[in-house]
Structure 1
């Protein structure tokens, strides 16, 4: 007879799992919610914790919903559709705070209200993988537990125009030679939608004409302007172009248009990105005459709003191509006089390199998942008078933010405020903002 395991869920973690304590040991159970009692089965047993899956929900949370997506049980794109939307955000905020306390031994003096964003149809940038089974093309996201591809014909988190384009795009690619296609990307900009086809080798002139015909069809059906790019061996080249066909997004509040290419990093959710930029500027409070460094500046998502307020901004980025595009965006928006962009290895910073960049009244940090540990440790090599008076930190990983927040507090900064921004609804992913003031 199979052993029955029953647990009461007491918390929810940053991976979207319910947390229970069984015989003093932490148990993380997929899809379980705080307040529930579940029957579960272990799938991985470690010395300090166990991972499990639900067999049956015995006492259900009021926040539990029937997921609306037909692919939800298999697809790895979302893992929170079974949770009522406002509860998703509340659980993320709680998990974020728990990580601040547990990993960084810190917490903000002020907890910012969450930025909720849209629950559906928000994801304006997506990458789908392709695989062939028995000659049939499957196009979609990976499953939650493996690298297998879940074949999809639409997606509830994509804007309708992108979701409805998947079927005709897949139908065209299915007619191409088996094994030709590696995947695709879709970007919905402010004026144009970009389709990027990732192929293992070049394509014929006939195939190119087929894509042109498909884009004409999509433009007629959607009323949107489309363009397409071809990516081979990591090189992405625009295949269709016109004077009014520029891939870009807007920050309307700051009268900015930021141009980009498909391989450039942009936020997947532009409506919530605008709210994030506004919140960052409210806390950074750029003033004319101030000098501000924007670390990991990318295309200028934060640098250009800072410059719009007539502060001098130094944008520092690890990739030379991104520095060049940030400079072009500054020029395009009439802000070249307030901006300077430079390349540097931001994971190999020290006090000497910081002093070379020069004093800044304030910093803005927007690092990748690895965080900004080297930059923050380099502050220990500066005298107090050389330190920025305020640091606004945008984070896509609560664990590395917690670590870096602990280092900043140890250096003498006050953890003034922090909170989450829900850029990825229906997932457990947490974007957040933290503000630090020199004592």
Structure 2
């Protein structure tokens, strides 16, 4: 019988944070990534996994605490994977997020660009307006919450300090209703059961709720009773939709969605504009910081009333419409047909007649717009985390767009794309980070690029 070797450990000083929020230190010359550790911590770290160029570690004994370390304000931390920085002060979080942007610009983009202090929240709690909650367990014993970090194990959520309180109220009602009716939640391993996710959306301005029940099955058993119970328990609920996702996948939504009760939209008010939110539409999850972000875009655009503004990756048209009263014309481009329909509806309810929305690939649409409309004064790009396709940036540069405003949710791809545009005649100005997601490792940024003469 062989004696089991003791896991290797070492005393490690944490000197940085990774883009995912793990503490970063070194064992000899090898980087080690340690969840739930922050710069200034010193502790015994056990090596959990060895990779070719780095280690993954686990903090087993904290010897010295960082000045920024706090007791997590959420009772579900550190098990819940929703927030990565519950153990770090808010001041420490925003300082690190600014540093994260600076380092990405310098290391990835080779750029020495000024990064402004982060636009932070005054009270970073109850800020989220959307949650995607997986369901598990068994009939009568339903679990619902967020996945444990790095797993698909559900941490049962009884409360949540970052969600709007009405969303927590509705989540508890959904859990009770499905459990009381002894309906089977989804079993991810066996691909059985019914209820996969409850997607909850809230309007902060109207204090109303939308629920999307995602099921494996074509129909919802006891649908009328479920609807009646939820309406009775949560009077703020104004819309219930059903999404059907029968495939073996980690993707939340299936292709088909239908409203089974109530209104097709809820509405959010941002800076005098009213936006419709449908069951499948994307909308920024933090309404208060969305206004701060859009105000910064409007400031950078510096419109005088006659400009042609191109809004790429426009989604439901929110940024372009926010600028519409100060622009001559807004043209939004989006690949998803449903989002384009929602954008047109948003223009209608805000009585904006100077905006048009086109469904298509941006790299194909931009040259045609130049031929049809002439010079594009300002282009706004707000791509997903993977950043802009090179063909989109190339099309903007070839169209000789005077100013480009880049809105980014990923410092790494922002740095890459700014470097590409700099090589093609654009000068990036000061980068403004915005804290859209307190207690997490994510940060939004916005920057103006001007065409060099």
**SS of residue paired to 1:376:** helix
Residue pair 2:227, 2:261 contacting (<8 A) in 1 also = no
Correspondence for 1:407 among 402, 420, 439? 420
Correspondence for 2:341 among 312, 321, 324? 324
Correspondence for 1:236 among 254, 257, 261? 257
**SS of residue paired to 1:88:** helix
- State the alpha-carbon separation in 1 of the partners of residues 418 and 40 from structure 2: 31
1:211-256 superposed Cα distances (whole Å, 9 cap, x missing partner): 223212211xxxx3532112224322222226xx84111123xx21
1:44-86 superposed Cα distances (whole Å, 9 cap, x missing partner): 3222222212111111111111112222121111111100111
- State the alpha-carbon separation in 1 of the partners of residues 349 and 277 from structure 2: 12
**SS of residue paired to 2:422:** helix
CA-based RMSD: 2.1
**Aligned pair count?**
424
User: Displacement, 1:353?
Assistant: 5.2
Residue pair 2:305, 2:325 contacting (<8 A) in 1 also = no
User: Displacement, 1:112?
Assistant: 2.2
Residue pair 2:265, 2:279 contacting (<8 A) in 1 also = no
Look up the match of 1:52: 57
Residue pair 1:6, 1:38 contacting (<8 A) in 2 also = yes
User: Displacement, 1:205?
Assistant: 7.4
Question: Is 1:264 paired with 2:281?
Answer: yes
Question: Is 1:345 paired with 2:361?
Answer: yes
Look up the match of 1:199: 215
- State the alpha-carbon separation in 1 of the partners of residues 85 and 386 from structure 2: 24
Worse overlay, 74-83 or 195-204? 195-204
Residue pair 2:10, 2:27 contacting (<8 A) in 1 also = no
Question: Is 1:38 paired with 2:4?
Answer: no
Look up the match of 2:270: 251
1:358-414 superposed Cα distances (whole Å, 9 cap, x missing partner): 53111111001111132113345x2xxx41221111111111111101111111211
Look up the match of 1:311: 328
**SS of residue paired to 1:96:** helix
User: Displacement, 1:91?
Assistant: 0.7
Specify which structure has the bigger relative contact order, considering alpha-carbon pairs within 8 angstroms and separated by 6 or more residues. 1
Q: Could you list the runs of 5+ residues in structure 2 that have no partner in the other structure?
A: 1-5, 185-192, 246-253
Residue pair 1:215, 1:227 contacting (<8 A) in 2 also = no
Task: Specify whether residues 230 and 90 from structure 1 end up closer, same or farther in structure 2 by C-alpha distance, changes over 3 A only.
Answer: same
**TM-score normalised per structure 1:** 0.91
**SS of residue paired to 2:430:** strand
- State the alpha-carbon separation in 1 of the partners of residues 28 and 324 from structure 2: 56
Correspondence for 1:113 among 96, 114, 117? 117
Look up the match of 1:177: 183
**SS of residue paired to 1:335:** coil
Look up the match of 2:106: 101
Task: Specify whether residues 133 and 5 from structure 1 end up closer, same or farther in structure 2 by C-alpha distance, changes over 3 A only.
Answer: farther
- State the alpha-carbon separation in 2 of the partners of residues 351 and 392 from structure 1: 16
**SS of residue paired to 2:423:** helix
**SS of residue paired to 2:225:** helix
Correspondence for 1:367 among 372, 378, 383? 383
- State the alpha-carbon separation in 1 of the partners of residues 59 and 221 from structure 2: 52
Look up the match of 2:296: 279
- State the alpha-carbon separation in 1 of the partners of residues 130 and 220 from structure 2: 27
Residue pair 2:42, 2:62 contacting (<8 A) in 1 also = yes
Look up the match of 1:226: 238
Worse overlay, 210-219 or 256-265? 210-219
1:73-123 superposed Cα distances (whole Å, 9 cap, x missing partner): 211111111001111111111112111111111132x32231112421111
Question: Is 1:424 paired with 2:437?
Answer: yes
- State the alpha-carbon separation in 2 of the partners of residues 210 and 332 from structure 1: 32
- State the alpha-carbon separation in 1 of the partners of residues 220 and 41 from structure 2: 56
Task: Specify whether residues 59 and 94 from structure 1 end up closer, same or farther in structure 2 by C-alpha distance, changes over 3 A only.
Answer: same
Question: Is 1:14 paired with 2:42?
Answer: no
Residue pair 2:9, 2:47 contacting (<8 A) in 1 also = no
Residue pair 1:107, 1:415 contacting (<8 A) in 2 also = no
- State the alpha-carbon separation in 1 of the partners of residues 275 and 417 from structure 2: 29
Task: Specify whether residues 426 and 282 from structure 1 end up closer, same or farther in structure 2 by C-alpha distance, changes over 3 A only.
Answer: same
**SS of residue paired to 1:111:** coil
- State the alpha-carbon separation in 2 of the partners of residues 397 and 156 from structure 1: 24
Residue pair 1:156, 1:163 contacting (<8 A) in 2 also = no
